[in-house]
Structures are given as C-alpha cells and as structure tokens.
Structure 1
Amino acid sequence: MLNNGELDKVFKALSDATRRAMVERLVRGPVSVSQLAEPFEMSLPAVHQHLAVLEDAGIVTSHKTGRVRTVQLATDALTGAGEWMGRQRLPAERRLDRLGAFLDPTQGPRS
C-alpha cells in the first residue's frame, strides 16, 4: 500500500503523456534508454529527465552495463495506484446502480 506522498509521486509521474507512453512501452519488457527514446522527438537528456521522474516515483528501475543503461518497469509499480483508483470507483458505481434502479420504469413504484 502506498502512502499519500508515494501515491502523489506516482500520479505526478503519470500526469505526463510522454512518461505514460514510456510506461506503455516498458510493459513489453526492458529496453535501453536509446531504444526507449527512439519514438520521441526530444533530446536524450530530456528522456533522462523523464526517466528520473519515473524512477523517483518507483515506476521504473534501471541498471548500467558498460555504456548501456537498460530501463524496466518495476515489479508491481502501479499496483498501489490501481488499488486506490479501485477504492474510489466502487462507491461511485454503487451510487450509479442505485440511481439506475430508481430511474428504471420496470421496477414499479417504491414504498
């Protein structure tokens, strides 16, 4: 379970479309930084800045072998954020279910 500060870091990291695209690519497996940077029209230092935000949030990890830095998605990196979103969704779904039942004309009058 993530505490509020950690959860804030995860959501801040994922608030950027480039970082979300990087995470989507890393779901398929680890890659070098240069391979990860290929589809983006930005400098390598800019890619490193995005990766630093993702790494600080605990979403990715990296290791260097020689001159090649490889990045991968951290195990269970998004589990805490997903659990938090699930807890927020459940009460809203219950309210919508009650509203749907209330508005359903086939339910007949209620007492």
Structure 2
Amino acid sequence: MLHHSDQLDLMYQALADASRRAMVERLALGPASVSELAEPLDMSLSAVVQHLQVLEASGLVHSEKVGRVRTCRIEPQALDIAERWISQRRAIWERRFDRLGQILANQANEQDKESKS
C-alpha cells in the first residue's frame, strides 16, 4: 500500500504531462476505450497505453478489459489526496497572511499615533 506522500508524488508526476492531463479531462466526461482516448492525440496506440499505465499507477485511472476492448474510468476519490494536501497548504498560508495583516495594521496604528503626537 502506498503512503499518501508516495501516491501524491505519483499523481503529480502523472499530471505533469499534457497528454495525460488531456486523458484525465476526457475521462472526467465518462468512461472511454483506449482507442477513444488515443483518437485526439498525435501518438501511437502503444504510447497511449504507456501513458495510461502511469495514470493507473498513480491511482487516477482504472481500466478493465472486456473482450477486446479496454475501458478506462477516472477514479475521482484519488484526487481527494491532492485536494487535502492543497487545502492544508492553503490554510497555512491564509493564517500567515492574516497574521501579517495584523502586524501591518498594528504598525500603521503605531505610526498614526506617533505622527499625531
């Protein structure tokens, strides 16, 4: 089982490629076959399969083969890890900016008091 940080690394690595992001965006609309995913891309079917393997290793995509057709689906819960990580960092920075705002407001108040004296 992957740790959250390992899965997050794989997810960001997978999303770092424009072709893989395009596949994820397409899969957000619904399941698609490998051929359907390959159609708009300027690459071989084997290259598309390699990209899909990266997406599957990251947990973003799941595929299953029925007969001769491999159908891919997005795994939306996989994005929860990235969303939590981003939300935690956002909360940290918002607290820091709030604190900075308080410090600057206090300094401005002190300067106003000094200039009125």
Query: Please, what TM-score do these two structures have when normalized by structure 1?
Result: 0.84
Q: In the aligned structure 2, how far is the partner of 1:65 from the partner of 1:84? A: 35
In structure 1, distance between residues paired with 2:27 and 2:36: 11
For residues 25-104 of structure 1, the aligned pairs below 5 Å read 25-103=26-104
Which residue number corresponds to residue 24 of structure 1? 25
Deviation string, structure 1 residues 33-82 (Cα, Å, up to 9, x no partner): 11111111111111000000000111100111111111000140211111
Greater relative contact order structure (CA < 8 Å, 6+ sep): 1
Task: Name the Cα RMSD after superposition.
Answer: 2.2
CA offsets 1:9-38 (integer angstroms, 9 cap, x no match): 111111111111111111111011111111
SS in 2 for 1:78: helix
Q: Which has the higher helix share?
A: 2
Who is 1:12 aligned against?
13
Uncovered stretches (5+) of structure 1, i.e. residues with no partner: none
User: What is the CA–CA distance in structure 1 between the aligned matches of 2:64 and 2:38, rounded to whole Å?
Assistant: 16
TM-score normalised per structure 2:
0.80
In terms of mean alpha carbon deviation, does 3-12 or 53-62 score higher? Answer: 3-12
In 2, Cα distance between the equivalents of 1:71 and 1:5?
23
Gaps of 5+ in 2: 112-117
> 1-side partners of 2:109 and 2:27: how far apart?
52
Distance 1:30 1:83 in 2: 25
Q: Quick check: which has more Rg, 1 or 2?
A: 2
Give the match's secondary structure for 2:24: helix
Work out the percentage of aligned pairs sharing the same amino acid: 52
